Chain A
């Protein structure tokens, strides 16, 4: 018998040990595949998302990528018509206000169940409202309950007045909601994703209200991370964080027409170019907000590019706090005359963009043609500056980098065009560029900018969602409190929003729009830009929404 050399023995032993480890690992790692899922009809659509959802409890969410997912699982009492901005019945089939606009009676849809099998009824509606109203601690932070604080104000502790008073389950099919004041936004704001109905049983079972500040951030509940339970056409099937993909499955007991797709996957691809390439390679079936520079190429390559109606506004913001010259209306009017919005829109914004006359699109109540128009007139601008004693006006003009927004697809080129216009009118511009989250938003929100670029995509068809959001607070980014009308504008906005009579309310907003342009001019409205969404040619049935609130239950996929 020959003896093996020691070195060879060591190598053999090592190889044996490695094989044993591999075998034991294999033995304890079993596949968890559900072989049954593949048999379902309808196919799978993979949609490229620009970011990971923050969580799956829409009440605590405020970002588009989270809502894109939750919108498929949850529904509101009130819905939005597909492809439009008008309200339509959803979980409530009808609603009736009292004469003073304080009491709203909702008739609920019958035969609706949550994904956990529990019934949707008036008790569930009231449980949802009570849950939102009774937030405490971190749950009251605007970082979490943004839409509640924006729309309803305060909470049950009474520290801040709340629009919400109470909810009563009159009978299983009727819920009555009492408000503390009338608002033109109700019941429209119930179509906001944050106020969609969630299963009270699941909320309780998985401690949905267990959110808390920890260190520099917030910790979310088990419900928000793993057990979102709504009534929508898709139910939650899993979030593979390591692979950046969220999977939803068709809810077979859906009250309405069942979704065509059996599976809906959201694959996170943060880079816009990477999303386009993934679509071109057939790895995803669609993505949102393709770069306008790619629109034609995508069309030429056979993709189905759908351009939504514009429902946003880009404005030139003016902060009256730091540069006293900007508190003079004549100076602000000179800025408006200096900029050539027609050329800017045609040269730097995508096809279908429009020059803005008001601070919101013409499909929203109270929009009026009858407003002062500041035509491009550099001579007039110089003249007005001279009248104000500001011939040598110098302004710091802030613009953001590392960001695109539906209303602002290319901030750099927009800034460049505006800067040229202002300089042509004799204004000295000091450019200040910062990354969006790297100081730009800080500067704007803290009223440190003098001129800035910002905008808004409407959440719902309501004037208050635009001009109320912009100008209600006199110490906002515009610092309107530097002008004698700052508080007055705030009061006028509040009065218009609280007017229960629709006709009178519309007239009040028309008057406000006239004054905003002629007398106040806290900013200069520039444009409305149409955002696009693109899908592969075998995707059918997608209805683009001006509010960018697409639902995928009508979508089918061939091939």
Chain B
């Protein structure tokens, strides 16, 4: 188990190293750059050249890369030029990551809370109306683009009905105290209940939009897995032994059906970041997804580098945790 974990961490380092090289080269091959973003539309060739030199952007890409590595080794990942100019790129990530994590967690909780029970019930009542409704809604969840769903939810529940806020993380006038960066949690910790409730309301629509794909996937995988398990001999044996339905469901059906579901939850959690870019943009939600969108628009190399590498690390780590959790769910993996 330990060797396996160490090997997976080794792989993580290799992935990050390879990604950093590709990313660094790719960003600098894109048209435009921070010089245009910083100087605006009235720069002269001289002022452009001067700024390129000041920022070291006139040096060969491989030299810039090694300089970046040197600085990164001492914890300096560069300074933002577009997302939050002047701020350390890593601190921007750390400041915004709780927002995306809060959003992603709620999205995955919604997806799992709805997807697993519905998938299970759909499988148990295969062909019934609940099964059909679940299958259709999961198809819609996968087929409808997240940004469209985000627009739709926002228009109906925020603009037309006024039930939830249209954008942002929290009403700016609420005067909330910041502790952890997780706004809902901060409100609870400081007993600023209104701040916590307001942050939760701001989370609802983006989380709902973001949960559409994970919900659909979790529902379908749960349904398929439960159907498979129900056909297994050991389930029939359990029934013939006279075990109660509750025991069979809990110990034999759900537990065995959960293996593929947990895998898919892990993959979906990692993949939420791509959905978060669009969702956060639509809802002006100040997470890393929005930073990524603004970073591309303004060619903010340091922020893009940190966010993309960190997102990759999160993705790999989540999947590592999923793989390790197999061992907990399925004792055969431990050997």
Contact = CB atoms under 8 A, between A and B. Distances in A.
B102 to A, nearest CB: 11
Contact of B166 (A31, A142, A213, A278): A278
Interface in A131-148: 138, 141-143, 146
Nearest to B67: A215
A415 to B, nearest CB: 17
A132 to B, nearest CB: 18
Contact of A29 (B45, B80, B189): B189
A242 B96 contact: yes
Given A55-B85, A277-B167, A437 B44 contact: no
Interface stretch (A268-276, A341-349, A350-358, A374-382): A268-276
Contacts of A32: 177, 190
B192 A143 contact: no
Name, among A62, A213, A438, the residue most crowded by chain B CB atoms within 10 Å (CB to CB). Answer: A438
Contact of A278 (B34, B87, B167): B167
A384 interface: no
Contacts of B178: 240, 242
Interface stretch (A196-204, A243-251, A325-333, A416-424): A243-251
Contacts of A446: 45, 48
Contacts of A277: 154-155, 158-159, 166-167
Interface in B8-65: 30-45, 47-48, 50-51, 54-57
A243 B81 contact: no
A138 B41 contact: no
A454 interface: yes
A241 B87 contact: yes
Contacts of A29: 177, 179, 186, 189-190
Interface stretch (A10-18, A118-126, A305-313, A468-476): A468-476
Interface residues of B, number: 80
Contacts of A268: 284, 286
Interface in B53-110: 54-57, 68, 71, 76-81, 83-87, 95-96, 98-99
Contacts of A274: 166-167, 282-284
Name, among B31, B154, B191, B301, the residue most crowded by chain A CB atoms within 10 Å (CB to CB). Answer: B31
Interface in A20-65: 25-26, 29-34, 37, 44, 46, 52, 54-55, 62-63
Contacts of B289: none
Name, among A30, A46, A218, A456, the residue most crowded by chain B CB atoms within 10 Å (CB to CB). Answer: A218
Given A141-B54, A216-B78, A283 B165 contact: yes
A145 B284 CA distance: 30
A44 B173 CA distance: 8
Contacts of B175: 33-34, 37
Given A270-B284, A442-B32, A446-B48, A215 B79 contact: yes
B169 A243 contact: yes
B40 A217 contact: no
A46 B171 CA distance: 10
A445 B41 contact: yes
Contacts of A44: 173
A271 B279 CA distance: 12
A527 to B, nearest CB: 17
A216 B31 CA distance: 17
Interface string A437-467: 1111110111100000010100000000000
A388 B282 CA distance: 51
A473 B282 CA distance: 41
B54 A213 contact: yes
Given A280-B159, A446-B48, A217 B80 contact: yes
A440 B155 CA distance: 33
B119 interface: no
Given A32-B177, A217-B86, A277-B167, A245 B31 contact: no
B286 A216 contact: no
A304 to B, nearest CB: 19
B172 A243 contact: yes
26 contacts: A30-B177, A32-B190, A34-B175, A46-B172, A54-B86, A55-B85, A141-B51, A142-B43, A143-B54, A215-B56, A215-B78, A216-B79, A216-B301, A217-B55, A217-B302, A225-B86, A265-B172, A268-B286, A271-B281, A271-B282, A283-B165, A437-B37, A438-B32, A438-B299, A445-B39, A445-B41
Interface of B: 30-45, 47-48, 50-51, 54-57, 68, 71, 76-81, 83-87, 95-96, 98-99, 154-155, 158-159, 162, 165-173, 175-179, 181, 183, 186, 188-192, 281-284, 286, 290, 294, 297-299, 301-302
Given A141-B51, A242-B96, A265-B173, 19 more contacts: A31-B190, A31-B191, A33-B175, A141-B54, A143-B38, A215-B56, A216-B79, A243-B170, A247-B172, A268-B286, A270-B294, A271-B281, A281-B158, A283-B166, A283-B167, A435-B31, A438-B30, A442-B33, A454-B41
